[in-house]
Amino acid sequence: MNGRLDMVEALGASLSGLRNSRAEVAVCPPFPYLAALARTLGDSGVQIGAQNVSSHEDGAFTGEVSAEMLADLGCRYVIVGHSERRALYGEDDELVGEKFLRAQQGGLIPILCVGETLREREAGETEQVVVRQVSSVLDVAGIGAFDQAVVAYEPVWAIGTGETATPEQAQEVHARLRAALAAEDASVASRIRLLYGGSVKSDNAALLFAQPDIDGGLIGGASLSADEFSAICLAAE
């Protein structure tokens, strides 16, 4: 929940310069700015997505936004299960699974976020937590649904704190996530994009993205600066 219209338009104008980038780039602004960003980006090839979606198709759910509404605005992606949604708004694995399904039914590609807290990491529960979070979606959606999905590992202890998992730590979790998916379907697991999110910056992006199971980044605070975000996008190339 950052930014104002002028900042969003400036970011969009800057990213339009990535027209020929070999990396796929998507931006997920707050709901009110989706249409303005879509206009600014035009035919640049940069995709837009949303930060959240309702688990319902339509109806008397005041304040909610449906997948179909987001698709109408040109969204291709939507984030589901972000750690802040889980921690601040009580979204559990079951609700995240419902949103994942609803997003796909409404024509969107869900970016499923998983990750452990500092307490869970210190207790040696990282693998257990992230595999449980993925498995809860597998149980309701099936492995085939992951052919039209993205998974983002975001260690909660590294979000907005300035702390970053080392490339080796991040790779270890990414490899475990890919293995969990491969246990269901090796072909799907090989194709899916696994993103790292957790204080990614221009000065650490290339090392993170060089890891064999890290296919890109889910960028938070660094995306508030057009120059910093563009530099991260270039690192992804």
* Residue 216 is labelled as binding a ligand: no
* Residue 197 is labelled as binding a ligand: no
Section 121-139 average pLDDT = 96
Q: Considering 91, 98, 116, 154, which one is annotated as catalytic?
A: 154
* Residue 199 is labelled as binding a ligand: yes
Please name every residue paired with 109 in a beta bridge, in sequence order, or none if there are none.
Answer: 77
Specify whether 57 is catalytic.
no
- Residue 161: pLDDT band with limits 50, 70, 90: confident
Q: Mean pLDDT over all residues of the chain?
A: 95
* Residue 220 is labelled as binding a ligand: yes
Q: For 15-66, how does the pLDDT look when each residue is reduced to its tens digit (9 = 90+)?
A: 888 887 889 999 999 999 999 999 999 999 999 999 999 999 999 999 999 9
- Residue 159: pLDDT band with limits 50, 70, 90: confident
pLDDT at residue 19 in the model: 80
| Residue 211 tokens, joined | 């890891």
Section 95-108 average pLDDT = 98
Q: What domains, with CATH codes, occur in the chain?
A: 5-236 (3.20.20.70)
Own/partner pairs, 157-161, CB within 8 angstroms, 24+ separation:
157/116, 157/117, 157/118, 157/121, 158/198, 158/199, 159/83, 159/84, 159/115, 159/197, 159/198, 159/199, 159/220, 160/199, 160/220, 160/221, 161/199
Question: To 5 degrees, how large is the angle CA 27–CA 192–CA 216?
Answer: 45
Report CA torsion sign: 204, 205, 210, 213. positive
Q: Considering 82, 98, 116, 228, which one is annotated as catalytic?
A: 82
Specify whether 82 is catalytic.
yes
Q: Counting Cβ atoms within 10 Å, is residue 225 exposed (0-12), middle (13-18) or buried (19+)?
A: middle
Section 181-205 average pLDDT = 96
Contact 236, 205 (CB under 8 A): yes
pLDDT at residue 154 in the model: 95
